[in-house]
């Protein structure tokens, strides 16, 4: 069985500051890992994905994440927060054999202060 | 290229009733997955349909059922609604069952009173 833990249900950052969202996973087999963003009243949009290629993954909107197998982590970062980054962010995992059936974490809501 | 569309956007039902939610997949996609997102939680996988057949199911009771049609659109049916079924129901389509890129619709907000 696989699971995802996102540390911190809410994160508040100042505009221009570093955004760091933490994600730890458990999986008995090599996983695929994802970060999705959800804006109010919208569905989920893929930010980036790790599928066993480069461990540092660059995504859209200036976000990136690093896969660390030894730490079973896949933390999401952005060097400089923008007001438009205010949203909820979800980390997700799937087993490679399971294709695209995702297990999501509980989400982290990001508030950006001017 | 049209995206994933879901209908209706909002729905109010009473306990014990039945509900049908609909999803049109993105053009060229043959796989549809359904997720339930309760308030303040992450989405939970309900089931997936690939070429009109169920291709995996999460930990949901049999009163949650689905269909996929020849045009790859899909329905989610929930019988004997319970208060805890109140949630945002998300549909996601993908090019095939192994392709890791999911495209999500905006969801149907179901309230059970």
> Considering CB atoms only, which of B43, B98, B104 is closest to A99?
B98
Closest CA of chain B from A69, distance in Å: 20
Report the candidate in B91, B7, B100 with the shortest Cα–Cα distance to residue A50.
B100
Q: How confident is the model at residue B100 (pLDDT cuts 50, 70, 90)?
A: confident
Under 8 Å between Cβ of A65 and A76: yes
Backbone angles phi, psi at B52, to 5 degrees: 75, 5
Residue A101: pLDDT over 90: no
Contact B42 A104 (CB under 8 A): yes
A31-84 pLDDT tens trace: 889 999 999 878 899 999 998 778 899 999 999 999 998 999 999 999 999 999
Q: Which residues in chain B touch residue A32, judged by CB atoms under 8 angstroms apart?
A: 100
Peptide bond into A101 cis (omega under 30): no
Integer Cα distance of B94 and A42 in angstroms: 18
**What is the rounded CA–CA span in Å between residue B106 and residue B65?**
20
Q: What is the pLDDT of residues B17-26, one digit of tens each?
A: 999 999 999 9
Residue in A with minimal Cα distance to B5: A43
Backbone angles phi, psi at A60, to 5 degrees: -85, 165
- Chain B positions touching A99 (Cβ under 8 A) are 97-100
Average pLDDT of every residue of chain B:
94
């Amino acid at each position: 069985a696989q699971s995802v833990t996102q540390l911190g249900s809410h994160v508040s950052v100042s505009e221009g500051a570093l955004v760091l969202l933490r994600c730890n996973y458990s999986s008995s087999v090599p996983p695929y890992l994802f970060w999705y963003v959800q804006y109010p009243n919208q569905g989920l949009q893929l930010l980036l994905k790790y599928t066993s290629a480069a461990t540092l993954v660059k995504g859209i909107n200036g976000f990136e994440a690093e896969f660390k197998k030894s730490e079973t982590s896949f933390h999401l970062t952005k060097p400089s927060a923008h007001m438009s980054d205010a949203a909820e962010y979800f980390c997700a995992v799937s087993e490679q054999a399971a294709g695209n059936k995702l297990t999501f974490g509980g989400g982290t809501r990001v508030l950006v202060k001017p | 290229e049209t995206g994933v569309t879901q209908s209706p956007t909002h729905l109010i039902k009473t306990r014990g009733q039945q509900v049908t939610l609909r999803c049109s997949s993105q053009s060229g996609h043959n796989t549809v997955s359904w997720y339930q997102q309760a308030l303040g939680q992450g989405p939970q996988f309900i089931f997936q349909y690939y070429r009109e057949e169920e291709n995996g199911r999460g930990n949901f009771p049999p009163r949650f059922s689905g269909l996929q049609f020849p045009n790859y659109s899909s329905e989610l049916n929930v019988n004997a609604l319970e208060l805890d079924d109140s949630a945002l129901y998300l549909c996601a389509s993908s090019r095939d069952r192994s392709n890791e890129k999911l495209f999500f619709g905006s969801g149907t907000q179901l309230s059970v009173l």
